[in-house]
Structure 1
């Protein structure tokens, strides 16, 4: 029950942007290459990511990038052991809509060291799927399993990518060594249907509690959500980056 697609959108964009070109073919229309020595490299990277938006909406089959609207995730788990919300949550069959309406608002890139920091905004995300939660929320024990729906407005995110150069077959590639992410939500709304307790009163009480305390819950679960999503997409990005030499997507001249 968190804005799953904001980070997904940005990371899928990175994989498509710098994982789609081939050295033996013309640059695909969805890629705007950047030059390593461009004095305004930040603007180039920002422009390239925003250029990807219509292509990511429908997916790019030739490089195995699926559509991001809706974005489908089979499973996402997270655990928070500190603060007022101490729970372990597992989400499954997640469908998130609205991610293709992203805008990259800021970029700070150090292409010599393969560091990229990005700011991202999405006006609205809607997620649905199933869930299983166990733990304690504000001292109350919680054990629930069922379906969830959530909507998030005015999502703002920051993603920090840290890469390193590796060599294979006489060519140089970039490997994503670390991904860090953070986000904020303007407002949100939740709805759950509990199957475990078979109690409509309990389900109504949980819905009321979630909506009345959504700010607290999001803030408490944010570190766990960020770690889980970043780990999930780090592997995805490396699948793309390690296929294409650096000199294909980052020109020296």
Structure 2
């Protein structure tokens, strides 16, 4: 769930790189379909747009991404080697997303496939939480404030689709998405575990952080699935509104 903020970056990437569908901001130079360096053009345009992420971009109907507010995320992870729990996270506040770096883009217009590799130097996610289950050998339960700090996050994503004709214009319909990610390091803290039992709470938080790599590895598939579903919904909505020749300037 901590990586959902990067989804907004992917949508933004698609919007500005695919061309002049509205009146573009003055700092954007639209890319063209026949540009042999199209992928490099997309990366270059993102570098122009990155400084605007903190305040938001009205032309794209995008609010500020830093901080980024998310309403709720639910996780239900069972029978894992390291973790087995159900957790609800609400009122999430994500900071650090505006420092995202797009390392590589590969857009194939014939196969309608977009591959993106992005890097987050650091992300901090604060939220209210409610959790019950097991982490490693210990039962865990509680509700309160959580604070997660994550560094060196490498995220790769593949989105593919098909063309659809409507009113004589071509639209893109997203039909598949895949997300994979690797976290360099993490530090987690859950306040008020075990109904405020300070000794149990501190020892459990210590155990969580001593084994954070194993715990993050267990929940990664759930995070990837969540990101994929959100991307499908958001990107499909964008492509449903705008014809492809408006999103990507013709030759």
Instruction: Check whether TM > 0.5.
Output: yes
**Counterpart secondary structure, 2:53:** helix
Q: 1:21 to 1:196 in 2, by over 3 A?
A: farther
Equivalent position of 1:54 in the other structure: 51
**Counterpart secondary structure, 1:35:** coil
Q: Does residue 37 of structure 1 match 2:30?
A: no
Match of 2:198 among 200, 203, 218: 200
- Structure 1 stretches of at least 4 aligned residues deviating more than 6 Å after TM superposition: none
Q: 1:76 to 1:32 in 2, by over 3 A?
A: farther
- RMSD of the TM alignment (CA)? 2.3
The answer to whether the 8 Å contact 1:97/1:125 transfers is: yes
CA apart distance, 1:98? 0.6
Q: 1:9 to 1:156 in 2, by over 3 A?
A: farther
CA apart distance, 1:175? 2.4
Q: How does 1:8-157 map to 2 (within 5 A)?
A: 8-14=7-13, 16-17=15-16, 21-22=20-21, 26-29=23-26, 31-84=28-81, 85-157=83-155
Q: How does 1:158-173 map to 2 (within 5 A)?
A: 158-173=156-171
Measured in 2, the distance between the counterparts of 1:144 and 1:156 equals: 31
CA apart distance, 1:15? 5.1
Q: How does 1:182-221 map to 2 (within 5 A)?
A: 182-194=180-192, 197-221=195-219
Equivalent position of 2:174 in the other structure: 176
**43-52 or 95-104, which moves further after superposition?**
43-52
CA apart distance, 1:58? 1.3
Q: 5+ residue gaps in structure 2?
A: none
Q: Give the paired residue count.
A: 250
The answer to whether the 8 Å contact 1:21/1:31 transfers is: no
Q: What is the TM-score when the length of structure 1 is the normalising length?
A: 0.88
The answer to whether the 8 Å contact 2:7/2:230 transfers is: no
Measured in 1, the distance between the counterparts of 2:144 and 2:54 equals: 29
Measured in 2, the distance between the counterparts of 1:140 and 1:196 equals: 12
Q: 5+ residue gaps in structure 1?
A: none
Measured in 2, the distance between the counterparts of 1:224 and 1:20 equals: 33
Q: 1:36 to 1:15 in 2, by over 3 A?
A: closer
Measured in 1, the distance between the counterparts of 2:188 and 2:9 equals: 24
**57-66 or 118-127, which moves further after superposition?**
57-66
* 1:33-63 Cα distance to aligned partner (Å, 9 max, x none): 3222222222122223333212222112243
Measured in 1, the distance between the counterparts of 2:144 and 2:170 equals: 47
